[in-house]
């Protein structure tokens, strides 16, 4: 059936708003929040082999690459395994060593990205166990891998990926939860995350209600900017990169995701009172370090828009624009925090007269290397 935009002007905004439901669809039939169990049918046959492996290598491009980065630390924490995240386009360039006891996970919304298919081929030839995480059932990557998980986000038509990102994040988190299911050490942590997943749809709904404010800021303050820095650290590192990618893709503004810990190693030189910035500063264990970054930029005249937790009444934000988002478990907060950046990029594109569904020079699925 043909997909309709309904009341939305573009697929991008429809897909951003789909997220209250798409995240639930990713978890449906897999997560039981009452007894804290996770069962991914597509992994069943290989579960023992995956648990026995010595490391996990993720490979993807674009937004899918960012979803791997976003879950890297929770994967390492729950599974106690070395994790590496590689761009599919550099995998072959670098001729990375891959062994029979490696698990290689290929993330792709379309399941057709040529670079990722080539990395898959390379890992298969070296005898690794290959797992696919895609949105399109029957796609090349789901057929060519040994086992896998569909993210079930529903068709994504906008070139800029939105709901696939949050569903990929969840699907990967479910994999980590299932792999660590028998570990007593991580039981409390797993239960905390599962409780957070069960509340996620409500938290997303509250976050989407921030749209008018994000639209106002995009139109009134950021419409004509030439650069934009998105700053954060820890669990928000991937959010910075993914937020900047959204801005680049649909607004054609030069945007850069910068990890706050790296500021003093160079990027600080870019900061003055004219540099537009967004800072991600949720209440988590990186808060104090992020506040330090905020001071470094405000001292130089920077006035970032700050995305903070709804219950944060710190006086440090008093002269700054803030967006208050629901607070969830630290390891899931990035799912909430990308949403204001999706909405912001969308409205910035529209304000600049760009059709966000069809950005110049980009394709939804890149089937050439
Ligand atoms: C293209 C799209 C991006 C996407 C990337 C990876 O560049 O424009 O939005 O993130 O491919 O696509 P995949 O289907 O493999 O997730």
How do residues 308-326 score in pLDDT, each as one tens digit? 999 999 999 999 999 999 9
Tell whether the torsion through CA atoms of 133, 136, 142 and 148 is positive or negative. positive
> Ligand 1: which atom is nearest the Cα of residue 110?
14
The pLDDT assigned to 3 comes to 78
The pLDDT assigned to 1 comes to 53
Strands 305-309 and 37-38: unpaired
The pLDDT assigned to 349 comes to 98
DSSP code at position 330? G
The CB of 309 under 6 Å from ligand 1? The reply is no
pTM: 0.97
Q: 273 alpha carbon to ligand 1 midpoint, in Å?
A: 35
**Closest CA to ligand 1's atom 8:** 364
Q: 137 alpha carbon to ligand 1 midpoint, in Å?
A: 16
Contacts of 86 by beta carbon, 8 Å cutoff, 6+ apart: 57, 58, 59, 94, 96, 119
The CB of 61 under 6 Å from ligand 1? The reply is yes
Half-sphere exposure of 19 (CA within 13 A, CB side): 31
Q: 161 alpha carbon to ligand 1 midpoint, in Å?
A: 7
The CA–CA distances, whole Å, from 126 to 54, 79, 132, 210, 232 equal: 15, 23, 17, 48, 37
What b/e string do you get for 216-253 counting C-beta neighbours within 10 Å, with b at 16 or more?
ebbeeebbebeebbbbbbbbbbbbbbbbbbbbbbbbeb
The pLDDT assigned to 369 comes to 86
**Closest CA to ligand 1's atom 4:** 62
> Ligand 1: which atom is nearest the Cα of residue 141?
15
Report the complex ipTM: 0.95
Nearest 5°: the CA angle 215, 217, 220 is 105
The CB of 161 under 6 Å from ligand 1? The reply is yes
The CB of 62 under 6 Å from ligand 1? The reply is yes
The CA–CA distances, whole Å, from 176 to 39, 57, 72, 201, 316 equal: 11, 13, 10, 20, 36
The pLDDT assigned to 222 comes to 98
Q: 15 alpha carbon to ligand 1 midpoint, in Å?
A: 15
Q: 117 alpha carbon to ligand 1 midpoint, in Å?
A: 13
Mean pLDDT, 10 residues at a time, the chain of 369 residues: 85 98 98 97 96 96 98 96 97 96 98 98 98 98 98 97 98 98 96 98 98 98 98 98 98 98 96 97 98 97 97 96 98 98 98 96 91
**Closest CA to ligand 1's atom 13:** 108
Q: 245 alpha carbon to ligand 1 midpoint, in Å?
A: 11
DSSP code at position 126? T
Nearest by Cα to 178 from 70, 290, 43:
43
């Amino acid at each position: 059936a043909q997909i309709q935009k309904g009341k939305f002007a573009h697929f991008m905004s429809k897909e951003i708003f789909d997220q209250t439901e798409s995240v639930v669809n990713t978890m449906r039939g897999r997560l039981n929040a009452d007894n804290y169990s996770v069962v991914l049918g597509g992994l069943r046959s290989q579960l023992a082999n995956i648990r026995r492996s010595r490391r996990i290598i993720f490979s993807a491009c674009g937004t899918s690459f960012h979803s791997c980065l976003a879950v890297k630390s929770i994967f390492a924490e729950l599974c106690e395994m070395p994790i590496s995240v590689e761009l599919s386009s550099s995998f072959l360039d670098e001729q990375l060593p891959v062994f029979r006891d490696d698990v290689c996970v290929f993330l792709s919304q379309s399941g057709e990205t040529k670079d990722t298919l080539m990395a898959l081929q390379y890992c298969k030839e070296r005898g690794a166990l290959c797992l696919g995480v895609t949105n399109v059932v029957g796609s090349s990557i789901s057929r060519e891998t040994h086992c896998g998980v569909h993210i079930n986000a529903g068709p994504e038509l906008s070139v800029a990926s939105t709901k696939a990102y949050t569903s990929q994040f969840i699907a990967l988190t479910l994999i980590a939860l299932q792999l660590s299911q028998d570990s007593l050490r991580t039981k409390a942590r797993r239960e905390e995350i599962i409780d957070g997943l069960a509340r996620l749809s409500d938290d997303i709904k509250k976050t989407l209600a921030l749209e008018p404010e994000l639209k106002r800021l995009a139109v009134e303050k950021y419409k004509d900017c030439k650069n934009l820095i998105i700053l954060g650290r820890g669990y928000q590192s991937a959010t910075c990169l993914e937020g900047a990618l959204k801005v680049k893709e649909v607004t054609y503004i030069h945007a850069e995701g910068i990890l706050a810990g790296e500021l003093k190693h160079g990027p600080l030189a870019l900061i003055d009172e004219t540099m537009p910035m967004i800072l991600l500063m949720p209440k988590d264990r990186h808060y104090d370090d992020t506040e330090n970054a905020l001071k470094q930029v405000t001292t130089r005249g920077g006035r970032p828009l700050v995305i903070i937790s709804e219950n944060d009444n710190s006086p440090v934000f008093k002269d700054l624009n803030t967006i208050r988002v629901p607070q969830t478990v630290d390891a899931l907060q990035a799912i909430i925090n990308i949403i204001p950046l999706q909405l912001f990029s969308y409205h910035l594109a529209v304000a600049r007269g760009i059709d966000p569904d069809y950005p110049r020079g980009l394709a939804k699925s890149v089937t050439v290397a």
